[in-house]
Structure 1
Amino acid sequence: MPSAAAMTISLFGASSALIGTNNLLSPTSALASLDLPSTAIAASNGLSLAAIAMGIYYSLAAYQDNRPFFVLTVPMRLLTATVFWAQGDAWRLPAVWEGGGALFTLGALIWDRSSRASMRAR
């Protein structure tokens, strides 16, 4: 059975890939949701492709149960959440998604560590 942290990373990766695919298929909706002008469509498409790639990387890391990767994602995702939050109203939902996911993963890492410690103590 996968670790709790692997499950959070897998969920984050799948949601990232789905959001990226949705935004790539409907770029004008993506622009509207982030309150961006139509001239930003090329940048939006690039971000969509990056989100899809991130989904693939996160899914692979989850499959491998790559704990160092899980740990390193937490501060980066919290930084991303902070930057998104500072962008204003349209960016608050992505900020909550990033920050909430990071905290969820952090909690899962702590849970996994304590579970492993208690199993060793038995």
Structure 2
Amino acid sequence: MVKINRMLHTGIIVADIKRSRDFYEGLLGLVPSDKRPPLSFEGVWYDIGINQLHLMVVPDPYADAVLPAHGGRDYHVAFSVDDVMEIKAAFDGAGVEYTMSMSGRAALFCRDPDGNALEFSAVKMD
């Protein structure tokens, strides 16, 4: 049996690194990591707790995919937040479309500028 110790990072594909950085850094407040080595493609890494988010400017094999209207029914990255209503207010102010969790829990889903689904959930992580 394989033993997995922990999740290390999630990599997502983006087309325009400036537009993506404006979203992830400007709206979500993430700070670029200095741990990204020189690679053959553009990108940025963000440290989020013990994990990382990697944005990669590479060809998108899913570019023609039809995406579900609700991000919870798609591949998605989930982030723990203190208050979903603060995220909702920030998204309302920035004009970012989102859907609330269909389960009724304190979570909302949006898509980044490239259509990647993101979840923001008020789940306390120790």
Q: Normalization by structure 2: what TM-score?
A: 0.27
Give the structure with the higher percent helix.
1
Which of structures 1 and 2 has the larger relative contact order (alpha carbons within 8 angstroms, sep 6+)? 1
Give the structure with the higher percent strand.
2
Larger Rg: 1
